[in-house]
Amino acid sequence: MEKSNFTVTVDRRSLRTRSALSNALIGLIAERSWDEIAVQDICERANIGRSTFYLHYPNKDALLQGGLDGLQAELQRQTQLRAADANSRSKALTG
């Protein structure tokens, strides 16, 4: 499946919900095996209803993938920032 070239704006409530779900999943992974974690467990930990979960993700695998995609995007952003910083320092030194 291809990703689209436009940016979707996500409101703060959705960001807060997705963050709560991701944090709940991370906490549960630290405590249990993947197969022992149910969507209901994630929802209870995040204090979010199951219907809300399914508005954001079709299953727990998609939640995990969403977290990995977010991590990858942040790592790329940090790499670009460091490269730009190193480039500007190099230019300053060589004048």
Encode pLDDT of 63-90 as tens digits: 999 888 877 887 888 888 888 888 887 7
Stretch 9-28: mean pLDDT, rounded? 90
Stretch 27-37: mean pLDDT, rounded? 95
Biggest CA-to-CA distance, the chain: 60
What pLDDT is stored for residue 43 in this prediction? 98
Q: Contact 37/21 with Cβ under 8 angstroms?
A: no
Q: Which residue has the tokens 């807060």?
A: 16
Q: Is the pLDDT of residue 9 over 90?
A: no
What pLDDT is stored for residue 93 in this prediction? 72
What pLDDT is stored for residue 95 in this prediction? 62
Classified as helix, coil or strand, 5 is coil
Residue 77, amino acid: R
Q: Contact 37/60 with Cβ under 8 angstroms?
A: yes
Cα separation, 41 vs 33, in Å, equals: 12
Stretch 3-30: mean pLDDT, rounded? 82
* Residue 38 Cα to chain centre, angstroms: 19
Cα separation, 36 vs 79, in Å, equals: 35
What pLDDT is stored for residue 1 in this prediction? 46
